């Protein structure tokens, strides 16, 4: 396969989209470090699934909103799996419990969300850089969001963080060329929360040209494409949204 190296780190890799990315990369031939914050049981379960594919897995617990965790996660990956060729910045926070609106603005909540969604990917790229450059074709994939271009007034900090992450993706592509490729995936709706009202689900789906929501596997396959076949692609943000962005 066309990966830069056999070791990938997936942040937020225990559940939902992150879990699907971990399994897709394992099927592609990668050993995978699975970062999680609180989902220990799920991380251990997906690590077991990776092992059954014949690849190695390592679960790493860390709170990426704390600066001390950033070099720690990279160090544990390299020490545990012997290197690092692929960094998938998937972990993100959509809300902190405080209203993410102009009326409900909270400096503490705003800073915590941006620290996890924007600063942590930058810091992880910084600490991973020596290992990625050593690979002669290292890859970074940032999980952005179509809300970067279509911001929601009910989730202002989240949308701002994803817009900034898209800009960071392009900037890092320039800064790390030619040895490291940096791209982004901008999903639309991939997973509804369990309590999301059915009538609102139907209304959202009606505005998607392909007539359905995405799945975690749709996102994971796009990530695999960039990792496996993206040697001449850098600085791109690929929308995986069923055409929602063009409506």
Please report which residue ranges of 53-139 form alpha helices under DSSP H: 69-81, 107-114, 120-134
**Spatial distance between the Cα atoms of 88 and 83, rounded to a whole number of angstroms:** 15
Phi, psi of 46 (to 5 degrees): -70, -30
**Spatial distance between the Cα atoms of 75 and 71, rounded to a whole number of angstroms:** 6
Q: Which entry of 36, 158, 196, 232 is annotated as an active-site residue? A: 158
Q: How many residues does the chain have?
A: 247
Question: Left (φ > 0), alpha (ψ -120 to 50) or beta: where does 182 sit?
Answer: beta
Q: Both ends of the chain: CA-CA distance in Å?
A: 36
131 is catalytic: no
**Spatial distance between the Cα atoms of 174 and 185, rounded to a whole number of angstroms:** 17
Which residues does 233 contact at the CB level (< 8 Å), separation at least 6?
Answer: 181, 183, 226
Which residues have a catalytic role annotated? 158
């Amino acid at each position: 396969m066309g990966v830069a190296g056999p070791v990938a780190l997936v942040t937020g890799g225990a559940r939902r989209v992150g879990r699907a990315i971990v399994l897709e990369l394992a099927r592609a031939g990668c050993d995978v470090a699975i970062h999680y914050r609180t989902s220990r049981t799920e991380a251990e379960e997906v690590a077991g699934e990776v092992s059954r594919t014949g690849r190695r897995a390592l679960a790493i617990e860390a709170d990426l909103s704390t600066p001390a965790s950033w070099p720690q996660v990279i160090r544990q990956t390299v020490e545990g799996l012997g290197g690092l060729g692929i960094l998938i910045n998937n972990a993100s926070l959509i809300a902190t419990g405080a209203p993410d609106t102009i009326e409900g603005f909270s400096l503490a909540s705003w800073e915590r969300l941006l620290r996890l969604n924007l600063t942590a990917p930058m810091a992880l790229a910084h600490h991973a850089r020596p290992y990625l450059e050593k690979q002669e074709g290292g890859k970074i994939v940032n999980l952005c969001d179509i809300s970067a271009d279509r911001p929601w007034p009910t989730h202002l900090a989240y949308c701002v963080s994803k817009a900034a992450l898209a800009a960071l993706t392009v900037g890092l592509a320039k800064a790390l060329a030619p040895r490291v490729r940096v791209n982004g995936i901008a999903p639309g709706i991939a997973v509804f929360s369990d309590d999301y009202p059915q009538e609102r689900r139907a209304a959202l789906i009606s505005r998607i040209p392909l007539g359905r929501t995405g799945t975690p596997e749709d996102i994971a396959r796009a990530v695999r494409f960039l990792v496996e076949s993206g040697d001449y692609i850098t600085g791109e943000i690929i929308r995986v949204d069923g055409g929602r962005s063009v409506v």
